[in-house]
Amino acid sequence: MDAMRALERAVAGLPGVRGARAETSEDGLAKLLVLVVPERANRHTLETIQALAPVTTGVALDPERIEILSVLSAGGAEVRPSRRRLASLVIERAGELFTAKVSLDLAGDVLVGQGTCACVRRLEHRAVAEATLEASSDLVDAPAEVESVDIVQVGEARIATVLLRRDPGSGFAVGSAVARLDDYDAIARATLDAVNRSFSTPDV
């Protein structure tokens, strides 16, 4: 029983996993139920859990005993998700403190991130990108950080570009978005663009 609880905790700590529950029977584990964000409901997640089980419990786990659930699962069949959208960006200033709160939505599944800094324009831009990246953390396999945020004028359009640095040796990812509402909205969408382009989990 202790091994099953350890497996639950280990699986729950994986990126994109919202929770895990081991259902046991008299002869041991009957089923492992895993709730994930929609982007994680794929074979890659199943293989990760299978690799983790022997390390945690000392016993291999039959894939037939693992059930991965998400809000986009329908009748037990996996639905291929589309990409997330920027659902909301809330900016607050309190004294000298700037706070950006970002929500990313996919079919009702919402991820939230927050960034804070002093009320300085270039720092505010970075805080918006960091809030978006934090909201995206469950979608990526490797940690990343904001390397740079720029607003450039191209003809009549203002364009936000965000450069993300991945783990050492893994290179960079860049995203861009045209400023339709304001620079902050464009920065959030540019950061999400970088995540969607280069950090998405395998779809197989």
Per residue in 144-180, pLDDT tens?
Answer: 899 999 999 999 999 999 999 887 666 888 999 999 9
Residue segments in the chain with a per-residue pLDDT below the cut of 70? 1, 27-29, 71-81, 168-170, 199-204
Give the number of domains in the chain.
Answer: 2
Same-domain status, 193 and 121: yes
Backbone dihedral region of 196: left (phi > 0), alpha (psi from -120 to 50 degrees) or beta? Answer: alpha
CB atoms inside a 10 Å sphere around CB 56: 18
Domain housing 138:
85-198
77, part of any domain: no
Same domain, 58 and 90: no
Asked whether residue 146 is domain-assigned, the answer is yes
SS3 assignment, position 193: helix
Cα distances from 59 to residues 7, 36, 52, 54, in angstroms, run 11, 23, 10, 5
- Among 44, 69, 94, where does a domain finish? 69
State the CATH number of the domain containing residue 39.
Answer: 3.30.300.30
131 within some domain: yes
Are residues 40 and 47 in contact, defined by beta-carbon separation less than 8 angstroms?
no
pLDDT digits (tens, 9 = 90+) for 25-41: 776 667 889 999 888 87
- Strands (E) in the chain, as ranges, are 17-25, 28-36, 66-69, 85-94, 97-106, 109-118, 144-154, 157-166, 172-178
Instruction: Give pLDDT, residue 40.
Output: 81
Query: What residues have CB less than 8 Å from 114, skipping those under 6 apart?
Result: 99, 100, 101, 102, 131, 134
Q: What is the CATH number of the domain that holds 112?
A: 3.30.160.270
Helix (H) or strand (E) holding 10: helix 2-12
Is the residue at 94 inside a domain?
yes
Q: What's the predicted TM-score (pTM) here? A: 0.79
Q: Are residues 124 and 163 in the same domain?
A: yes
Nearest to 106, CA basis, from 199, 189, 38: 38
What gap in Å lies between CA 118 and CA 100, rounded to an integer?
11
Residue whose C-alpha is closest to residue 175's, from 185, 187, 161, 165: 161
Both tokens assigned to 175? 């995203």
Q: What is the Cα–Cα distance from 198 to 144, expressed in whole angstroms?
A: 11
